[in-house]
Amino acid sequence: MNSAATDILALEEALGHVFQRHELLEQALTHASYAREAESQNAADGAPTVEGDNEQMEFLGDAVLSCAVSQELFRRFPEYHEGELSKLRAHIVSARRLLRPARELKIGDYLRLGRGEDRSGGRGKSALLVNALEAIIAALYLDAGLEAAHRFILRHILEPELAEVRQQGGERLPVMDYKSALQEAVHAGGRPQPRYVLVKAEGPDHRKTFTMEAHVPPSPGGDDGFVRSSEGSTKKAAEQAAARQAWEYLQSCKNNSGIEGPAPNPRADGPS
């Protein structure tokens, strides 16, 4: 373990929990490469031992994480059906999303890695960071029970992810990527792919507001094209918001008529 990895107290402070059994946190931070190297060294010294690593703890932590997120989503979104809840949970617990809290907690600084893994940049590898995060969740659960693990998950994983989902996709539906949802909807209706146009960017560089338009072309069946526009603090956020409006419009037309496609004169923001 390098010098930056010695101050476990700093990690405990970041986690918001002081461990009664520090060996649990130590094991959660131990990669298999370190454990195997330690075993080989001990055997060479005439004292064979089995060193624990974080692989089994990762398995347990993944289950605790899924349980806590499922419980919170079930409680917070009673109007969602099972498919929506599953999609939202999968988004929140995906490795790509778990990488953010792992990096924010600087878990890589505390990992116990074998020399080869350390030299190859293991402290920055996404898989190792996410696995260690899940192992830490297991350590919290084993040290202090489900409530302690639940608090950690809410603070560092669930709440930040829900805040980002709301910012980019709105409050009502658990659609994490409205651009993809819109693309699927127009494809199902036989329309060409939508276009996104930057209309304007206003404000100082540190606080710009972008206005984007989503242009949905006419369908082969004669349904008119239409445009929806929206603002956001980034181009990506504005595109997502405009795509959401267009997607929701197509959904409302589908629900009202039983078929995909706008009713007559659908344009709310001018012709495409």
Active site residues per annotation? 62, 134
Let me know the angle formed at the C-alpha of 113 by 111 and 115, rounded to the nearest 5 degrees.
145
Per the CB < 8 A criterion, the answer to whether 133 and 25 are in contact is no
How far is C-alpha 256 from the geometric centre of its chain's CA atoms? Answer: 33
Burial of residue 133 (CB within 10 Å: 0-12, 13-18, 19+) is buried
Amino acid letter, residue 70: S
Strand partners, 143: none
Strand partners, 33: none
Ordered strands of the 195-202 beta sheet: 195-202, 209-216, 226-232
Q: Give the Cα separation of 63 and 48 in Å (integer).
A: 32
